[in-house]
A and B are shown apart, each in its own frame.
Chain A
Amino acid sequence: MKKNKDVAVKESSSESVLKEIMSGDPVRISLSILLGFIIGAIFMVVFDSGVVKSWSNFGADPNYALSSVWWTIQDGYGALFSGSIYNLNADNFIDGIRPLTETLRFAAPLVMAGLGVALTFRVGLFNIGATGQIMVGLAGATFVSTRMELPPVIHMLLATVVAVLCASVWGIIVGILKARFGAHEVIVTIMLNYVAASLFTYFLREPSLLLEANGGGTPKSDRPADTAMLGSLLGPEFKLHYGLIFAVLAVVGYWWLMERSTFGFRFRMVGHNASAARAAGIKVENTFIWALAISAGFAGLAAANQALSIQGGLTTSIEAGIGFDAITVALLGGSRAGGVAMAGLLFGAFKAGASSMQVAGVSPEVLGVVKALIVLFIAAPPIIRAIYRLPKPGPKMIDVMKKTAKVAK
């Protein structure tokens, strides 16, 4: 029997949940972060031996027991603050503000890679290939920075461009496989992450490519030429380098691309309704390829940031989980330029503050828990709605009624 094409096309519930996750409602996201911190605090308290001891003597000194809870939380998150924003115990302003510059330094690659992932989200693709794209970008940047001799700045710019191009190629592969053969981007990006990681290790072992000149058996590159390094931004007192400028440019560029340019318009059209986009004359398959290429380009920027700011030789650890965190950053930022920048800063702060938390005697793994919880809550909109009793999204009944009443007039 012939299928009647006139069946009302309804969004399947899984699709609408995915849309809700990716849409990034600011209220829901803020509440998710808040909830993540609250539960993180519970973890700190419960696993603090001092608190546990004070509570075992609760009857003797309830005041002490309660205040010990408070102090533990204050110590933990206080350390996070002074490790990532301003060190209140510092003797001078430079030492005081250093944590903030560290946060910015850690945030820059997260923001750049996060923008890449965000772009594909807006086109309706679930791209988890930033890790692989960064690996390939690292290889490209490192080859230029260690094997070529060029004047300063030009050397750095070339290395950056090569990183972006290499990463883009990695993205285009996904795009072509999806557009031409209908392969699912999630599977392809996961697999290509493994391929890229192995490829990068192989390059690092290969004397003719990246292996350090007098290297032994460990896969490690030479340190990049000084001419290729991202220069210091605030002088030798700080580690902050020009990567931050690239990140800011990336945010502005992303905003322009997605919100102002005709490309972004088409990207968003395909993301929201590929069928209508096709009827409007847009080649949806090509749009996928473009989106993945540009998305991977952002990941390539992150790769350049990592490869050209390192003081020693490169190993695979330089990727530092950025590609994976980028997914969270994109989700957290609601795939918008401003949101991704804020989310990147938050995660940068986590990275910057981890060591001072450790010094304060709080396990920095608590931050891992907080991060994971934030993701969990964002990925589970219904949980957050239930906890805070938020209304279901969608056109509010009353608005619709008002509008239709107006129409009737």
Chain B
Amino acid sequence: MKLELRNITKKFGTLVANDNISLVLKPGEIHSLLGENGAGKSTLMNVLYGLLQPDSGEILLDDKAVKFNGPGDAMAAGIGMVHQHFMLIPVFTVAENVVLGHEPTSKLGALDVGAARKLVLEISDRFGFQIDPDAKIQDLPVGAQQRVEIIKALARNAKILVLDEPTAVLTPQETDELMEIMRGLAKSGTSIIFITHKLREVQQVADSITVIRQGKVVASPSPKASASELASLMVGREVDLDVKRKPAKLGGESLVIQDLTVLDDRNHQMVDGVSFKVQDGEVLAIAGVQGNGQTELAEAILGIRKVHSGSIVVSNKDVTKSTVREVLEAGLGYIPEDRKKDGLVGDFSIAENLMLDGSFTKPFAKGIQIDFPKRDEIAEDLIERFDIRTPSAETLAKQLSGGNQQKVVVARELGRDLKVLVASQPTRGVDVGSIEFIHEQIIAARDAGKAVLIISTELDEVLALADRIAVMYRGKIVGIVDAKTSREKLGKMMAGIAA
């Protein structure tokens, strides 16, 4: 089906979220909608999906003007949307989730599970999804859950599929699988709008590209455009994706992990005899596919997860059995992989979030009272230094964009006197401009002589930051290699094949 958005304008008060946007989606095409957070992509898609009414402009399906008064209309017209956050019921099976809302029923009105299963199997086979219709959603990995969302849309005869940041939650392998699926769907005639800010994926899969900035279409570059061209178009200025860095000036060993073994909540051994050292002034990056023990490793270093055996030494202090507070006081800074869960309190102001782990001591605490003038002073300073774009220090953290939220976390951790920085997925869900900035800050910490441990599932990030790379697979370090190691070799190591 051909989709055309013609001169769509949508205003919120004085703010023009979509300014005269036009876009044509040809049948069987993968059209990438590229833009920073807040550029107006979501507004445009909400207009398309009938959640918002445009102030002017029209939507044409196969050259006929249509009007959607709600998602129901859009779905009936053949538009399916896969949201970034899945709309699935964890305790239901795949088949049950797929038919939810339009369940096939037997003559007596009971749910016809057989028909539902058949539907799932049929779609799954057609596109090579390999989904078991009887599996419970909660038992599926994220990538498979996403496929269920796609099946859900296809089961309602979607001819146009909108994928909103679909790879944000996927591992590199799952991402590759999704790309395959997208190509297969396009080949069979489904048109896809692919919303993302990951340039590599756009280059990989898009047939055409529309870049949106501040509500306007700024360019329709060729899919062959380079990553920095695309990034510059998105951000509106030159973006340097290569982090500049001096050669490492190595110092003492501030983080020493020895034979570390860590169990997860179900007593599975997630970290299995891991040993490594990080020297002052270098970045050691732990690469690996999500779920190979990196999360547990980071949690064990911070002390929120118990160490089963082995030892952790932070700047010559054995912190294996220490409390989180003692670890922090030993000079560890920690950027968690899930900032909303472990890094921020959404309902707290930025100023409060910047003192989250400082409530025990100076400069934030004066005795048992918070030193408010000092707190505000520090907040203003960090907001300035770390380029946190916010109306004020009193703004709630949850109201910030992902990139700015992450800058709050980075500012808090790097804002105090550190020996060691442990950063898990430091730029997950962060816009390009902020990624550049956060990477610079991490390198600046390294150049200031801190020992930096990066844990990232994004190979691009690992290669951009690391002096040395340790690859983790099934709880073990497969090998520690030089940062100049090729992608292919790292890829093999990530699959468990030792160098």
Contacts and interface: CB of A to CB of B under 8 A. Distances in A.
Given A1-B141, A9-B338, A261 B368 contact: yes
B291 A279 contact: no
Interface string A1-36: 111111111100000000000000000000000000
A265 interface: yes
Given A262-B365, A276-B345, A398 B15 contact: yes
A89 B33 CA distance: 74
A324 to B, nearest CB: 28
A279 B344 CA distance: 10
Given A3-B138, A4-B291, A402-B15, A407 B345 contact: no
A399 B395 CA distance: 11
Contact of B37 (A281, A399, A404): A404
Given A1-B140, A398-B12, A401-B38, A10 B345 contact: no
Interface stretch (B97-105, B241-249, B274-282, B355-363): B355-363
Interface stretch (B21-29, B120-128, B193-201, B398-406): B398-406
Given A4-B141, A6-B169, A398-B15, A273 B398 contact: no
A138 B120 CA distance: 65
A395 B37 contact: no
B323 A403 contact: no
B468 interface: no
Interface in A362-391: none
Interface in A275-303: 275-283
B325 A403 contact: no
B85 A8 contact: yes
A239 interface: no
Contacts of B365: 262
Interface in B266-312: 268, 290-291, 295, 302, 304
A269 interface: yes
Contact of A269 (B86, B268, B295, B345): B345
A6 B141 CA distance: 9
Interface residues of B, number: 70
Interface string B342-369: 1111111000100111011000110011
Contacts of A3: 138-139, 141
B142 interface: yes
A272 interface: yes
A253 to B, nearest CB: 13
Chain A interface bracket (under 10, 10 to 19, 20 to 34, 35 or more): 35 or more
Contacts of A398: 12-13, 15
A166 B395 CA distance: 41
A276 B343 contact: yes
Contacts of B169: 6-8
B334 A279 contact: yes
Given A405-B38, A408-B214, A9 B341 contact: yes
Contacts of A262: 359-360, 364-365, 368-370
A8 B165 CA distance: 13
A10 B85 contact: yes
B404 A407 contact: yes
B17 A401 contact: yes
Contacts of B45: none
Interface in B359-410: 359-360, 364-365, 368-370, 372, 389-391, 395-396, 398-401, 403-404
A397 B348 contact: no
Contacts of B396: 395
A263 B324 contact: no
Contacts of B364: 262
Contacts of A266: 359
Contacts of A272: 345-348
B420 interface: no
A408 B12 contact: no
Given A403-B401, A407-B404, A408-B38, A281 B346 contact: no
B290 A4 contact: yes
Contacts of A283: 323
Given A276-B343, A276-B344, A401 B324 contact: no
Contacts of A60: none
A409 B389 CA distance: 10
Interface in B306-344: 323-325, 327-328, 334, 336-338, 340-344
A409 B214 contact: yes
B450 interface: no
A401 B10 CA distance: 12
Interface of B: 12-13, 15, 17, 36-39, 43, 84-86, 138-142, 145, 169, 213-215, 236, 268, 290-291, 295, 302, 304, 323-325, 327-328, 334, 336-338, 340-348, 352, 355-357, 359-360, 364-365, 368-370, 372, 389-391, 395-396, 398-401, 403-404
24 contacts: A3-B141, A5-B291, A6-B142, A8-B85, A262-B368, A266-B359, A268-B345, A269-B345, A273-B346, A276-B341, A276-B342, A276-B344, A276-B356, A279-B357, A281-B324, A281-B327, A282-B325, A283-B323, A398-B13, A402-B15, A403-B400, A407-B36, A407-B38, A408-B36
Given A275-B341, A280-B356, A281-B357, 14 more contacts: A4-B142, A4-B291, A5-B295, A8-B169, A260-B369, A262-B368, A265-B359, A269-B348, A272-B348, A277-B345, A279-B336, A403-B399, A404-B37, A408-B236
7 shortest interchain CB distances as A-B pairs: A404-B38, A281-B325, A280-B357, A281-B324, A407-B389, A279-B342, A398-B12
Interface of A: 1-10, 260-263, 265-266, 268-269, 272-273, 275-283, 395, 397-409
